[in-house]
Amino acid sequence: MAVNQKIMPKKMKKKDNIAYLFVLPFVIVFLIFNVYPVLRTLYLSFMNYQGYGIPKFLGIENYTRVFKDKFFWRALLNTIKIWGVNIVVQLGLAYLLTIIFSDIKYKLRGLSIFRAMFYLPNLIAATSVSFLFKTLLDWKYGTINQMLMAAHLTNSPINWLGSPHSAPYVISIISAWMWFGNSFIILMAGVQGIPKDYFEAAAIDGAGKWKVFSKITLPLIRPITLYVFITSLIGGLQMFDLPFLMADGGTAGNPSGSLQTVVMYLYKFGFQTYQVGFASAIAYTLFGIILVVSILQFKILGSKED
Amino acid sequence: MKWKKMVASLLIGLMVISTVACGSTNAKSDSGSAKSTESSVKKGDTSGKKKLVVWTLAKDLNQFGDKYKEKHPDVDVQTVVIEPADYPTKVKTAILGGAKEPDIIVGEPQMLQDMYDAGLFEDLNKAPYNAQSYKDKIVNYVWDVGQDSKGIQRAISYQITPAGIYYRRDIAQKVFGTDDPTEISKLFADYKTILTTAQKLNDAGYKIFASDGEMNYFSGDSAWVKGGKLNVDQARYDYMDLCVNLYKGDYTSYAAQWSTPWYQGMAGPMPILKSDTNVWDTESLKKAEASGQTTEVFAYGLPSWGVLTMRDNVKTTSGKWGVCSGPSNGFGGGTYIGISSKSERKALAWDFLKFCTLDEDTSNWWIKASQGDTVSLKSVLQAHADDKNDVYGGEQMYKFWLEQANGIDYSKVTKYDKAIGDAWGTAISEIKTGQKSKNDAISEFYDTVSSTYPDIKVDRK
């Protein structure tokens, strides 16, 4: 017995070591492709670097430049504006569909088919989506304007992507169209995880649809909502492809810079004017903003759960 | 247990090897691939062809590559065409990462200074190239564009790209009573005169331009940045006023450059596109046509490569065009060819470069193959000076382009031009569409320049 006791921990120890070997490949790849670029970007954010030559140390100058730069803040505001409208529409649609599909009275069939259909826009590449909508929304020759005018809803074509008052919201709606299916699937999964007893009990007690949704569904899927919100926020603040492809003048984000997001602004400095140090500082400032907002969101939404 | 250990070790080994292979520098992976390709060529191709890799943003080099292969069957020229927007980044990443390929790289004037500064191009002044001995063969401004800030030759172009005004001779005869290029150029002598010309054409039922950006290639008398200071000369303001007045005065047909209606204007009548023209309503479009709401465009402002654009689009108006000089000597674009500083096949690359840019036979061939592109070899331009182009009523185009090219001042070009020019374009767009007042738009322009280039001193006027 005493002998066995001595042998056991040795075996355990051997097994542990093999486990380390199994995760080693991932760790190596992670260190090279994730950790190193992240640290290198941090290092460069304190440097004056044009992408070649020896970086020169600047201290926090790049960061003070970011904070003083009104175009950075305008880009941030544009990003928040585009994301803000997008998340309202995206989650609103996803919740609406969740209510409909989770209602035990409706007993809607074909959930899997609808789920696939709603998710389809998410599978289309952003380049294709932007090409599609640029064609549909063209000022002079777009199908949307053609339909609106045929229905006499407007007398002259609307310059959807040419006006700073409409262009950001157009991007928001397209983005919401692309992502509501994704949110719907996640929310539906959350709802399906709620025991049916609650809904049945509520139905027996005579609770209405709104009561069921607000008192049972919503509180029980709050962690899922928090997840959707935070992932959407992180993705939203990093928005690049759609506005970049649909804006006039590339990273300038025209009309009037209204489509210039923070990452487009970063791209302008990193890959067009080759101010890599400043671009790195923008990246870390954005990282800081996302971190702070995510913590706040987590605290606000998470605390209610308790 | 042993099996488990063996499988685990094998998997780990594989992962580590693949990771190292992926994580190695471009230099290693690229040279590796180059070596493997070369060896495969040697194994698979008994002729043992020499390889030359060309990265270009102009499709022209595909044709140059094929022509070179015709003359040199022992060389396999592999041409890769990359989108211009991505080109500088891709080339920089590859070469600064130590990649031995590409051997030949190119650039357009606005991106070249940055590429020179990054050390991507080989010094062509040194032996065995001794490029300076060819200096007198090439049009002066093209030679200057190929030099870095220290005067070292880094690239040479096979073409010149001076800008001119392409105008309709038949309309000129009707409205101005002459189609002589010298007389018509007086109608474009300065921005005020251009507005008067626009008014006259409008009164006669024509539009001076399809878009309001046609004078872009002629804008500015001096560089955007001089001695570290932002320099907005009077010609820039005049150009701004011209664009705004052309837009507000309804003097253009509102077709964005490079859009379908813009090309349509080259072939003859096109509908007048106003913001309230419903092009989808057949009846209202017919009504518009019946009431004369179609127009013809008088002129386009384009560099010499516009000859090729016009060639493909003039259709029934062929022969009715002429070309004259604009308000200043401008130019636009041009593909400059150089050798990658990291290439291991520099001798072959230099031979290809000479073939494309300094060889009279190639230049003569290119004039025919491109059906009218304007080459940079002086001797060939002079030899073709008397060539008449039927699209332009028999005008002697090469003679004209050479004259225009001789007046180009390359010192106007800086590495800041793209970003500052875009910001100025945004300001013009905001003023003409009424989104901002002139003062606000210009103030925003100054802010944009200060933000983009903090090192440039901005004196607000």
Beta carbons of B454 and A65 less than 8 Å apart: yes
Classify domain B163-331+392-452 at the CATH topology level: D-Maltodextrin-Binding Protein; domain 2 (3.40.190)
Whole-angstrom distance, CA of residue B337 vs CA of residue B112: 10
**What ipTM does the predicted assembly reach?**
0.74
Per-residue pLDDT of chain A (306 residues; tens, 9 = 90+): 444 555 555 555 566 778 888 899 999 999 999 999 999 999 999 999 988 788 899 889 999 999 999 999 999 999 999 999 999 999 999 988 888 887 766 677 777 888 888 888 889 998 899 888 888 888 767 788 888 888 888 877 888 888 888 899 999 999 999 999 999 999 988 888 888 888 888 888 888 888 888 888 888 888 888 888 888 888 888 899 899 988 876 777 777 888 899 999 999 898 888 899 999 999 999 999 988 988 887 787 766 544
B283 vs B459, more confident: B459
Pick the CATH number of B40-160+333-383 from 3.30.750.24, 3.40.1370.10, 3.30.200.20, 3.40.190.10: 3.40.190.10
DSSP code string of B121-153: B--SSSTTT-GGGGGGGB-HHHHHHTB-TTS-B
Task: Give dist(CA B254, CA B270) in Å, integer.
Answer: 11
Check residue B12 and give its pLDDT: 60
Q: What is the CATH number of domain A63-305?
A: 1.10.3720.10
Q: Which residues of B touch A (CB under 8 A)?
A: 4-5, 8-9, 11-12, 15-16, 19, 23, 85, 89, 92, 96, 114, 117-119, 273, 275-281, 418-419, 422-423, 425-426, 429-430, 433, 435-436, 447-448, 451-454
Cβ contact, residue pair B422, A252, below 8 Å: yes
Which residues, in sequence order, are bridge partners of residue B207?
A: B297
Q: What's the confidence (pLDDT) of residue B285?
A: 53
Residue B20 pLDDT more than 50? no
Determine if the pTM surpasses 0.90: no
* Alpha-carbon gap, residue A193 to B446, rounded angstroms: 57
Among the partner-chain residues B15, B23, B278, the one whose CB lies closest to the CB of A149 is B278
- What does the pLDDT average to over B405-420? 83
Q: Taking CB atoms and an 8 Å limit, are B419 and A272 in contact across chains?
A: yes
pLDDT at position A13, please? 59
pLDDT at B155 over 60: yes
pLDDT tens digits, one per residue of B188-205: 988 889 999 999 998 888
- Determine how β-strand B50-56 pairs with β-strand B75-81: parallel
pLDDT tens digit string along B359-399?
Answer: 999 999 998 888 888 899 998 988 888 888 888 888 888 88
Q: Using CA atoms in the order B115, B120, B125, B130, what is the torsion angle rounded to 10 degrees? A: -130
What is the rounded end-to-end Cα distance, in angstroms, of chain A?
Answer: 48
**Buried residues in B150-163 as b, exposed as e (16+ CB within 10 A):** eebbbbbbbbbbbb
Among A93, A103, A104, A105, smallest CA distance to A185 is for: A93
DSSP secondary structure string for all residues of B153-175? B--EESB--BEEEEEEHHHHHHH
Compare CB distances from A21 to B12, B117, B422 and report the shortest one's residue.
B12
pLDDT band for B336, please (50, 70, 90 cuts): very high
pLDDT mean over B37-50: 48
Q: Which two tokens stand for residue A54?
A: 């020896």
**pLDDT tens string A114-145:** 888 888 888 999 889 988 888 888 876 778 88
Q: How much is the pLDDT for B33?
A: 36
- Give the residue on A whose Cα is nearest the Cα of B426: A256
Residue B233 is encoded by which pair of tokens? 């000369």
Predicted local confidence at residue B31, as pLDDT: 36
Tell me the domain boundaries of chain B: 40-160+333-383, 163-331+392-452
Range with the poorest average pLDDT among A204-208, B39-43, B345-349, B371-375: B39-43
CA-to-CA distance for B237 and B442, rounded, in angstroms? 10
Q: What separation in angstroms does the CA of A146 have from each of A150, A158, A246, B434? A: 6, 10, 20, 25
pLDDT at B230: 93
From first CA to last CA, the distance across chain B in angstroms is 81
Residue A1: what pLDDT? 44
CB count in 10 Å sphere of residue B47: 10
